[in-house]
Amino acid sequence: MSKLIAQVPVLAGRLIQESRPKLNTFWKYAKVELSPPTPADIPQIRAGIGRLISGAKNGTWKNLTVKEAWLNTLVGVEVLCWFYVGECIGKRHIVGYDV
């Protein structure tokens, strides 16, 4: 048992050394992808929503490849799942509301 306790600092140092490059990569992408939109991004968001609505009206969604349609479906499912997770967090219960 004392050998194990003696190796804890060595293992912790090695863990920190091994995980540092991966954490740096995570932080690099997290700063870009997880940041909220800035006021400069709002015109791009409006234009994207406008393209989405006009594409739905014109029927351009019929010309998607199977891969693009599958990716769009996965993104829609992801948004739906985040909605349900947010609901569970907000109501502090997995099932139902306290009435």
Backbone angles phi, psi at 96, to 5 degrees: 70, 170
Over the chain (99 residues), what is each successive 10-residue block's mean pLDDT?
A: 83 90 92 89 94 91 92 94 88 72
Cα–Cα distance measured from residue 56 to residue 62, given in angstroms and rounded to the nearest whole number: 9
Full-model pTM? 0.53
